[in-house]
Amino acid sequence: MLTEVFEKVWQRSGGKCECARPSHNHSYIKCNKKLVREMQDKPALGGWKLYQHFAYGGNDVSAYAVYCWECYRKIAEE
Ligand SMILES: [Zn+2]
Ligand SMILES: [Zn+2]
C-alpha cells in the first residue's frame, strides 16, 4: 500500500472511526470515535487499525477503512 493511499484513507476518515456496522449499535450511522494518527496498531486510547475490505486491496482507497480498536476487535470476533 502506498503512503499516498494511506494518506487519502486517513484524510477521508477525518481522524474518526469509519465503522458503520449495524451489529455494533453505534449511536449515529458511524462509530465516529476520535482517533490519534500516531496510535495506529496500538490498543490504547485513540488507537486504531487499518481495516481491509478485500484480501487484495492494493492501492484502491475504497478497499480500506479506519476502525477504532474496539470495532476492529469486534469484527475479528464475528
Ligand atoms: Zn469504532
Ligand atoms: Zn463499529
Percentage of the chain beyond pLDDT 90 is 82
Q: Ligand 1 centroid to 44 CA: how many Å?
A: 13
Tell me the average pLDDT across 64-76.
95
Angle at CA of residue 74, ends 73 and 76, nearest 5°: 65
Near ion ligand 1, which residues have CB within 5 Å? 17, 19, 31, 33, 68, 71
65 has a pLDDT exceeding 90: yes
CA of 75, nearest ligand number: 2
> Cell 474496539, residue?
70
Domain boundaries, the chain: 3-77
d(CA 71, CA 12): 18
Average of per-residue pLDDT values in the chain: 94
Tell me the average pLDDT across 28-48.
96
